[in-house]
Amino acid sequence: WIAVKLLTDGAKEECRERECGSLWQALWVILVADMSMGIDNMLAVGAASHGNLFLLLFGLALSIPFVVFMSNLLSRWMDRWPIILWIGAVVLGRVGGEMMITDPWVQGLLNPSKGIEYTVQAFFILLVCMSSKWLVSRRNAATLAVQPVLLAGPARQNEGA
Protein backbone atom coordinates (compact mmCIF):
# COMPACT_ATOMS: atom_id res chain seq x y z
CA TRP A 1 0.00 0.00 0.00
CA ILE A 2 2.90 2.35 0.74
CA ALA A 3 4.23 1.86 -2.78
CA VAL A 4 0.81 2.58 -4.30
CA LYS A 5 0.44 5.73 -2.17
CA LEU A 6 3.93 6.77 -3.25
CA LEU A 7 2.92 6.68 -6.89
CA THR A 8 -0.62 8.00 -6.59
CA ASP A 9 0.26 10.93 -4.35
CA GLY A 10 3.71 11.53 -5.76
CA ALA A 11 4.96 14.98 -4.96
CA LYS A 12 1.45 16.32 -4.44
CA GLU A 13 1.10 18.20 -1.21
CA GLU A 14 -1.35 16.77 1.28
CA CYS A 15 -3.13 18.11 4.34
CA ARG A 16 -3.64 21.60 2.97
CA GLU A 17 -7.21 21.52 4.27
CA ARG A 18 -6.11 20.67 7.80
CA GLU A 19 -3.88 22.89 9.85
CA CYS A 20 -2.74 22.47 13.40
CA GLY A 21 -4.42 24.77 15.87
CA SER A 22 -1.59 24.90 18.38
CA LEU A 23 2.09 24.23 18.84
CA TRP A 24 1.30 21.02 20.75
CA GLN A 25 -0.85 19.70 17.89
CA ALA A 26 1.92 20.46 15.41
CA LEU A 27 4.49 18.73 17.61
CA TRP A 28 2.20 15.71 17.98
CA VAL A 29 1.75 15.43 14.19
CA ILE A 30 5.51 15.66 13.66
CA LEU A 31 6.21 13.11 16.41
CA VAL A 32 3.71 10.58 15.05
CA ALA A 33 4.96 11.03 11.48
CA ASP A 34 8.59 10.64 12.53
CA MET A 35 7.85 7.54 14.61
CA SER A 36 5.88 5.88 11.81
CA MET A 37 8.58 6.66 9.24
CA GLY A 38 11.26 5.38 11.62
CA ILE A 39 9.43 2.11 12.21
CA ASP A 40 8.81 1.76 8.47
CA ASN A 41 12.49 2.37 7.81
CA MET A 42 13.58 -0.21 10.39
CA LEU A 43 11.19 -2.82 8.98
CA ALA A 44 12.37 -2.19 5.42
CA VAL A 45 16.05 -2.43 6.33
CA GLY A 46 15.39 -5.50 8.48
CA ALA A 47 13.59 -7.23 5.64
CA ALA A 48 16.26 -6.33 3.10
CA SER A 49 19.06 -7.61 5.37
CA HIS A 50 17.63 -11.19 5.40
CA GLY A 51 18.85 -11.78 8.95
CA ASN A 52 22.44 -10.68 8.25
CA LEU A 53 23.43 -8.57 11.28
CA PHE A 54 26.15 -6.67 9.40
CA LEU A 55 23.72 -5.69 6.62
CA LEU A 56 21.11 -4.69 9.20
CA LEU A 57 23.49 -2.44 11.12
CA PHE A 58 25.03 -1.03 7.94
CA GLY A 59 21.58 -0.35 6.46
CA LEU A 60 20.36 1.41 9.58
CA ALA A 61 23.60 3.39 9.93
CA LEU A 62 23.33 4.48 6.30
CA SER A 63 19.58 5.04 6.01
CA ILE A 64 18.87 7.01 9.19
CA PRO A 65 21.29 9.88 8.44
CA PHE A 66 20.22 9.74 4.80
CA VAL A 67 16.56 10.17 5.73
CA VAL A 68 17.31 12.91 8.25
CA PHE A 69 19.73 14.99 6.21
CA MET A 70 18.75 14.20 2.64
CA SER A 71 14.95 14.26 2.79
CA ASN A 72 14.69 17.79 1.39
CA LEU A 73 17.09 17.02 -1.45
CA LEU A 74 15.33 13.75 -2.20
CA SER A 75 12.00 15.56 -2.29
CA ARG A 76 13.36 18.04 -4.83
CA TRP A 77 14.79 15.18 -6.90
CA MET A 78 11.41 13.39 -6.89
CA ASP A 79 9.75 16.60 -8.10
CA ARG A 80 12.34 16.99 -10.83
CA TRP A 81 12.64 13.32 -11.86
CA PRO A 82 9.39 11.41 -11.18
CA ILE A 83 11.09 8.19 -12.32
CA ILE A 84 12.57 8.07 -8.80
CA LEU A 85 9.03 7.49 -7.48
CA TRP A 86 8.56 4.59 -9.89
CA ILE A 87 11.91 3.06 -8.95
CA GLY A 88 11.01 3.28 -5.27
CA ALA A 89 7.60 1.74 -5.88
CA VAL A 90 9.13 -1.11 -7.92
CA VAL A 91 11.62 -1.83 -5.14
CA LEU A 92 8.84 -1.79 -2.52
CA GLY A 93 6.65 -4.09 -4.64
CA ARG A 94 9.51 -6.51 -5.21
CA VAL A 95 10.57 -6.58 -1.56
CA GLY A 96 6.96 -7.01 -0.44
CA GLY A 97 6.47 -9.94 -2.80
CA GLU A 98 9.77 -11.44 -1.74
CA MET A 99 8.91 -11.11 1.95
CA MET A 100 5.60 -12.89 1.41
CA ILE A 101 6.81 -15.77 -0.73
CA THR A 102 9.98 -16.40 1.33
CA ASP A 103 8.20 -16.32 4.69
CA PRO A 104 9.02 -19.53 6.57
CA TRP A 105 5.34 -20.43 6.99
CA VAL A 106 4.68 -19.95 3.24
CA GLN A 107 7.88 -21.85 2.41
CA GLY A 108 6.76 -24.77 4.59
CA LEU A 109 3.26 -24.73 3.13
CA LEU A 110 3.99 -24.25 -0.59
CA ASN A 111 7.72 -24.99 -0.99
CA PRO A 112 7.88 -22.68 -4.05
CA SER A 113 10.67 -22.96 -6.59
CA LYS A 114 12.91 -20.00 -7.47
CA GLY A 115 10.83 -19.46 -10.60
CA ILE A 116 7.68 -19.11 -8.52
CA GLU A 117 9.46 -16.72 -6.15
CA TYR A 118 10.49 -14.49 -9.07
CA THR A 119 6.98 -14.72 -10.55
CA VAL A 120 5.43 -13.59 -7.26
CA GLN A 121 7.87 -10.68 -7.07
CA ALA A 122 7.06 -9.66 -10.65
CA PHE A 123 3.34 -9.97 -9.88
CA PHE A 124 3.63 -7.55 -6.95
CA ILE A 125 5.70 -5.11 -9.01
CA LEU A 126 2.99 -5.13 -11.69
CA LEU A 127 0.24 -4.94 -9.08
CA VAL A 128 1.78 -1.83 -7.51
CA CYS A 129 2.39 -0.09 -10.85
CA MET A 130 -0.93 -0.97 -12.48
CA SER A 131 -3.09 -0.22 -9.44
CA SER A 132 -1.33 3.13 -9.04
CA LYS A 133 -1.94 4.00 -12.69
CA TRP A 134 -5.59 2.99 -12.35
CA LEU A 135 -6.10 5.04 -9.16
CA VAL A 136 -4.45 8.11 -10.71
CA SER A 137 -6.59 7.86 -13.85
CA ARG A 138 -9.72 7.41 -11.72
CA ARG A 139 -8.81 10.44 -9.60
CA ASN A 140 -8.12 12.52 -12.73
CA ALA A 141 -11.44 11.48 -14.27
CA ALA A 142 -13.27 12.43 -11.08
CA THR A 143 -11.49 15.80 -11.02
CA LEU A 144 -12.45 16.47 -14.64
CA ALA A 145 -16.07 15.48 -14.00
CA VAL A 146 -16.35 17.96 -11.13
CA GLN A 147 -14.81 20.92 -12.94
CA PRO A 148 -17.24 22.84 -15.18
CA VAL A 149 -16.14 23.28 -18.76
CA LEU A 150 -16.79 26.58 -20.48
CA LEU A 151 -16.73 26.07 -24.22
CA ALA A 152 -18.35 29.36 -25.16
CA GLY A 153 -18.07 32.81 -23.69
CA PRO A 154 -20.66 34.27 -21.32
CA ALA A 155 -24.25 34.00 -22.51
CA ARG A 156 -25.71 37.19 -23.97
CA GLN A 157 -29.11 38.28 -22.80
CA ASN A 158 -30.21 39.99 -26.01
CA GLU A 159 -28.75 37.54 -28.50
CA GLY A 160 -32.04 36.66 -30.19
CA ALA A 161 -33.46 40.23 -30.32
Q: Report which residue type is found at 81.
A: W
Which pLDDT score is estimated for 16?
47
Please write the tens of the pLDDT for every residue from 60-81. 888 878 777 777 787 788 889 8
| Interior angle at CA 47, CA 136 and CA 107, nearest 5 | 100
What whole-number distance in Å separates Cα of residue 96 and Cα of residue 122?
Answer: 11
**Full-model pTM:** 0.60
Report the interhelical angle of 114-146 vs 83-101 (nearest 10°): 140
pLDDT of 110 above 90: yes
Among candidate residues 122, 95, 86, 77, the one with its CA nearest the CA of residue 41: 95
